[in-house]
Structure 1
């Protein structure tokens, strides 16, 4: 009589592995999405600072912010846009840039909401329950 050893996984072992993977995914995916949104917001902030510098260069050349047309209005400039960047009616001595999150990729769920920067470098946001340090 020969004894044959069975190899492989049982159904219970396989179901335990599937359950562990599901639990890890349920915890990790929302954290991943939050970090992706923060990265997109960081890109929008960098683009807003670049556009604010553009406005300052335009002011230095023309002595007014009026007529300074932004070179781009979506962040990021290529690919899917996650923020619309708009000037709020610049006048001779002031401007305000506003970054409005788009629904694409769930960016409108970002806790900081709409971001703004003006000619004095004052940075604000529309989100509640967060601090300026968290959003800027």
Structure 2
């Protein structure tokens, strides 16, 4: 009668948890940057707009001062300034409607003030949408990659543990082949050959067959290093069997 016992190393679970937590931290940082950028960009554009408006107001006040000084000396606003006249920073074009007794100054944004304000709103809204879409896409891809990686890891671990079970059964068959007249056998030099044969299929395999007690019970222990597919650390498999016989 034989039964098997399996145990998995906890070190692999800790390392996988640390790797996933680091990636989660990265996604949280991306989300924070996206939120900050989405909130800051509209305010930045508003500040730019206010600076351009200040340029237009300054140009209007300067031209109004020139017109008043000109009328003081000529008693007329006509031909006091050129029209149109650009603002100092070039954001506005100032047009003047002049008569001997009155004037009218109009500041027009080079890209049309209302059109630019609407464009600023649309650009900020589009950027925010893009950042939210990027965040949602990143989370979705992260979830898909995590599911796929976990599936591959499970298949890989299952494959290696299946091989370990076959290697343990092979060691038991060797013990049965050396059983003579009810005396519990030992593998001797065949144990090294058995280990080398299965190491070709299980990378980094270290196997040993040891007696446990005086009732011809053996414990087959296999430990191996997982492949680079997933950092699983050391994995072990223990198989216990009992043969009909006694130790000499």
**Which TM class, normalised by the smaller chain length?**
0.5 to 0.7
In structure 2, how many angstroms separate the alpha carbons of the residues matched to 1:27 and 1:57?
A: 46
Higher Cα Rg, which structure = 2
Find 1:87's aligned residue among 93, 96, 105. 96
User: Which structure shows the higher helix fraction?
Assistant: 2
Note the residue ranges of structure 1 that are not aligned, 5 or more in a row.
1-5, 112-136
For 2:42 and 2:85, how far apart are their aligned partners in 1? 29
Deviation at 1:109, TM superposition (A): 2.9
The two structures have a TM-score, normalised by structure 2, of 0.37
Higher relative contact order (CA 8 A, sep 6+): 2
Q: How many residues align?
A: 103
- Tell me how far apart the structure 2 counterparts of residues 108 and 55 of structure 1 sit (CA, whole Å): 30
| Compared CA separation, residues 108 and 49, structure 1 to 2 (3 A) | farther
Flag the 1:10–1:107 CA change in 2: closer, same or farther, 3 A: farther
Q: State the partner residue of 1:10.
A: 22
How do residues 112-131 of structure 1 correspond to structure 2 at under 5 angstroms?
none
Secondary structure, in 3 states, of the residue corresponding to 1:97?
A: strand
Distance 2:67 2:80 in 1: 7
CA contact (8 A) 2:84 2:96 kept: no
Match of 1:102 in 2: 110
Q: Secondary structure at the match of 2:80?
A: coil
- What SS does structure 1 have at the residue aligned with 2:76? coil
Q: Does 1:41 align with 2:53?
A: yes
Identify the residue that residue 81 of structure 2 maps to in structure 1.
69
Give unpaired runs (5+ residues) of structure 2.
1-14, 119-248
CA shift for structure 1 position 70: 3.6
Deviation for aligned residue 1:15? 1.2
1:3-55 CA-to-partner distances (Å, cap 9, x unmatched) read xxx89982211111011111110011101101110111012101110100000
| Structure 2 equivalent of residue 134 of structure 1 | none
Larger deviation, residues 49-58 vs 8-17: 8-17
Task: Give the TM-score normalised by structure 1.
Answer: 0.64
